[in-house]
Amino acid sequence: MILILAFLHYWVGVSQDNAIQIMNFFTGLDLSKSQADSLLSQLADDWEQQRDTIAELIALQTVLYIDETGWKVGAKSCYTWIFSTSMHVLFRCGVSRKKTEAIDIPGESFAGIGVTDDYAAYKSMFSKHQLCWAHLIRKAIKLVLQNPDETEYADFLDQLCLIYHDAKDLRDNVAAAVAGEPLSESVERQAVVTKLQDRITLLCSRRDEKVITANAAAKSDPAVEPTPSSVETFVLLQRELANNVDCLFVFVEHPEVEPTNNRSERNARREAEIRKGARTSKTASGAKRRGIIVTVLASRQTRIANFTLSNMLAEVGRWWETGTSLFELELEAIKEKKTHHV
């Protein structure tokens, strides 16, 4: 019963009042709002250790995808951060957008590769950083759509997409070309990356143009014309690509890395839809409770083909019976493996 309530309210985004009505209709119960609230709090208390274990597991991974989206706690504007790997998802709800929030989960010593958008908080967080290509291409598409008569923008978009698709093809073809020799593969991948970076630098020929904003023009000589907004956007996009060229093709050098942040974006999108429906948190404790429950649900979803109530109940039943969750078993296995390697 409590899992259905949690799924409806936190995962689907049904209001707590409506979730209670649905529960009562299908079960014949007469669950009150205070009882439902107490049940959800108890579930969060029971699952908090699982959430902490998932956080430990995320910090040990080699690739981490991070995104953030707006959230409300009462009338206060906050954020929800989403940390994703291939097998884990963690939500931090109702916190700030400061860099400290992003670092808190993987930790200062995180040695893996980060995949994110271009938000400034992510800069210098990772020893290797892959920028999300979907974000970059969307910026170029928006520029073209807003300026359909500017062929230069359309040509730029075509060339940018061509480089991206070439990079994906080259990433997949390198392994076959070197016949499974790790050293040769590493050298070849680096050579491919260098050529791709050179193509980006060549494409971004207007990156060093001076941009004069309307405010700057107004403060200087009245005769000075500000840079048209579309040109400013175009120059700044080129500058972003050129200045972050080392973060564009990490996925070619490390084929286990995805070139986009879609893994976390999908979860952020669901949270954004729930936010738009005004299903946000009334209190900080409510935001924390939401983060714990959605973290465990999402991390469980990554591990089963059919995310159903019966499968979830079976797993939770096994936790209670054995006293150990699948996340704790995974963490124990990783720690044991590290001990043997020491």
For residue 138, the one-letter residue type is R
pLDDT digits (tens, 9 = 90+) for 159-176: 999 999 999 999 988 766
- Across the range 13-40, mean pLDDT stands at 91
Give the pairing of strands 63-73 and 113-116: parallel
How crowded is residue 89: how many other Cβ atoms within 10 Å of its Cβ?
24
pLDDT digits (tens, 9 = 90+) for 63-78: 999 999 999 899 899 9
Nearest Cα residue to 80 out of 66, 65, 91: 91
Place of tokens 């930790």: 107
Place of tokens 């940018």: 160
List Cα–Cα distances, 337 to 109, 330, 334, in angstroms: 19, 11, 5
- Across the range 129-134, mean pLDDT stands at 97
**Residue 342: is its pLDDT beyond 60?**
no
- Across the range 238-248, mean pLDDT stands at 96
**Residue 213: is its pLDDT beyond 80?**
no
Lowest mean pLDDT among 98-112, 220-234, 281-295, 303-317: 220-234
- Across the range 215-219, mean pLDDT stands at 61
Lowest mean pLDDT among 28-37, 222-231, 306-315: 222-231
- Would you mind telling me the total number of residues written for the chain in this entry? 342
Residue 246, both tokens: 């080392």
Distance between CA atoms of 132 and 166, rounded to whole angstroms?
16
- Across the range 175-190, mean pLDDT stands at 71
241 burial via Cβ count (<10 Å: 0-12, 13-18, 19+): buried
Give the chain's mean pLDDT: 89
**Residue 131: is its pLDDT beyond 80?**
yes
Q: What secondary structure does DSSP assign to 210-269, as a single string?
A: ----HHHHHHS-TTPPPPPHHHHHHHHHHHHHHHTGGGTSHHHHSTTS-SS-HHHHHHHH
- Across the range 180-192, mean pLDDT stands at 78
pLDDT attached to residue 220: 65
Residue % of the chain over a pLDDT of 70: 92
pLDDT attached to residue 214: 61
Asked if residue 289 lies in contact with residue 77, where contact means CB atoms within 8 angstroms, the answer is: no
pLDDT attached to residue 178: 59
Higher pLDDT: 123 or 53? It is 53
Local structure of residue 26 (DSSP, 8 states): H
pLDDT attached to residue 36: 92
Nearest Cα residue to 250 out of 66, 59, 63: 63
**Residue 229: is its pLDDT beyond 60?**
yes
* 306 contact partners, CB below 8 Å, separation of at least 6: none
How many separate helices (H) and strands (E) can be counted in the chain?
Answer: 14, 5
**pTM of this prediction exceeds 0.85:** yes
Higher pLDDT: 156 or 304? It is 156
Report the alpha-carbon angle 99-299-105, nearest 5: 20
| Model confidence band, residue 182 (pLDDT cutoffs 50, 70, 90) | low
pLDDT attached to residue 149: 93
pLDDT attached to residue 172: 87
| Model confidence band, residue 296 (pLDDT cutoffs 50, 70, 90) | very high
Asked if residue 4 lies in contact with residue 23, where contact means CB atoms within 8 angstroms, the answer is: yes
**Residue 83: is its pLDDT beyond 60?**
yes
Local structure of residue 52 (DSSP, 8 states): H
pLDDT digits (tens, 9 = 90+) for 232-241: 999 999 999 9
Distance between CA atoms of 157 and 235, rounded to whole angstroms?
13
**Residue 26: is its pLDDT beyond 80?**
yes
Asked if residue 249 lies in contact with residue 38, where contact means CB atoms within 8 angstroms, the answer is: no
